[in-house]
């Protein structure tokens, strides 16, 4: 069951901070009612891909009566003599309150059963989740240079780079495959190896070189 109260034509929901250190406060009907919150009644029409929120409502005021045991006190009566009887006469007595005792008495109790009836719902389309973009791969410039040099292809690659790619290489602290210049150079290198323009030593490929240099 959800609860809310109406303030300035707006439904305000109870917040945990309002009831600090009170266990299960947000499901305690009596506590919530004392704080001005009423149950929300009404279910939206299910619509796939949409979320629903109340758009129009009204308060239904009503009360419920039930019987529950309550503590009460009742008088304890005892007979007391009122005068001394003559010989052969029955003594005269009367009932008097001797004390009180606690008893449980079924008592009629009236409680508030008002609620907020939701009359109309508004629907809002759930936005499509954004695609998960994996983080870029980053590489140590020094390690990549050493791996390419060890494969005997550094000089060939360096001479094949464009002026912009050479400038990027010289100025970058580290290399990342989300950078336009570096990704273009990688694509050109893979294409050159695939065509046979650049030959790698046996057992060595571009991906293993990159993996060795990855940070």
pTM score, whole prediction: 0.51
What is the structure's pLDDT at 84? 64
CA distance linking residue 101 with residue 176, whole number of Å: 87
What is the structure's pLDDT at 95? 86
User: Which residues, including other chains, have CB under 8 Å from residue 168's CB and lie 6 or more apart?
Assistant: 179, 181, 182
- DSSP secondary structure string, 95-127? EEEEEEEEEEEEEEEEEE--EEEEEEEEEEEPP
Q: What is the Cβ-side half-sphere exposure of residue 36, based on CA atoms within 13 angstroms?
A: 9
Element (H, E) at 78: strand 63-83
What is the structure's pLDDT at 38? 97
Burial class (CB in 10 A: 0-12, 13-18, 19+), 74: exposed
Mean pLDDT by 10 residues, the chain (215 residues): 93 92 91 95 93 95 93 89 69 84 92 96 93 91 90 88 87 88 88 87 88 90
What is the structure's pLDDT at 86? 66
CA 190 remoteness from chain centre:
47
Burial class (CB in 10 A: 0-12, 13-18, 19+), 123: middle
CA distance linking residue 91 with residue 82, whole number of Å: 8
What is the structure's pLDDT at 166? 87
């Amino acid at each position: 069951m959800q609860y809310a109260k109406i303030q300035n034509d707006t439904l305000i929901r109870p917040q945990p901070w309002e009831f600090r250190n009170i266990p299960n406060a947000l499901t305690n009907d009596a506590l919530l009612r004392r704080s001005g919150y009423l149950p929300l009644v009404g279910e939206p029409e299910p619509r796939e891909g949409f979320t629903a929120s109340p758009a129009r409502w009204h308060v239904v005021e009503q009360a419920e009566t039930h019987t529950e045991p309550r503590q009460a006190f009742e008088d304890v009566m005892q007979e007391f003599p009122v005068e001394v009887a003559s010989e052969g006469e029955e003594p005269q007595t009367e009932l008097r309150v001797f004390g009180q005792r606690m008893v449980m008495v079924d008592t009629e109790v009236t409680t508030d059963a008002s609620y907020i009836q939701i009359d109309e719902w508004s629907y809002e389309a759930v936005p499509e989740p954004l695609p998960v973009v994996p983080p870029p791969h980053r590489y140590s410039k020094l390690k990549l240079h050493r791996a390419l040099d060890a494969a005997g292809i550094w000089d060939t690659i360096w001479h094949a780079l464009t002026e912009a790619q050479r400038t990027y290489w010289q100025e970058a602290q580290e290399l990342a495959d989300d950078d336009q210049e570096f990704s273009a150079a990688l694509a050109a290198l893979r294409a050159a190896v695939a065509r046979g323009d650049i030959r790698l030593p046996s057992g060595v490929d571009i991906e293993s070189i990159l993996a060795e240099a990855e940070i």
